[in-house]
Structure 1
């Protein structure tokens, strides 16, 4: 039986931590910074764990 391929879009969007958690980047951190407070852009800079409702689908795309 052939190997399953990892979803190319998913592997660019998710990182797996050492403990096995899936992390994702937050939205609204690409452009139009003049209208956003610095506190908001700093808060959006940190990665966040994938929500429980999306975890199963994300893991499946990564082949885990």
Structure 2
């Protein structure tokens, strides 16, 4: 059987935790920051886990994640 391809864009944007969760950054933090409040920008700095419903799509694209 041949090797499976890894989606490089997904592998650069997501990290795996010790509990086998995928961690992602928040969107909307790259531009138009003047009109966003400080509190909102602080929330956008944090990392979030990928929703369990969407996890299957990412695992399919990252076959050698574990």
Q: TM-score, normalised by structure 2?
A: 0.88
For the residue of structure 1 that corresponds to 2:23, the secondary structure is strand
Higher helix share: 1
Deviation at 1:38, TM superposition (A): 0.8
Distance (whole Å) between structure 1 residues aligned to residue 25 and residue 37 of structure 2? 19
Aligned length in residues: 64
Runs of at least 4 residues of structure 1 off by over 2 A?
none
Q: TM-score, normalised by structure 1?
A: 0.90
For the aligned residues, what is the CA RMSD? Answer: 1.0
Where do 5+ consecutive residues of structure 1 fail to align?
Answer: none
Where do 5+ consecutive residues of structure 2 fail to align?
Answer: none
Distance (whole Å) between structure 2 residues aligned to residue 51 and residue 20 of structure 1? 12
Distance (whole Å) between structure 2 residues aligned to residue 61 and residue 11 of structure 1? 9
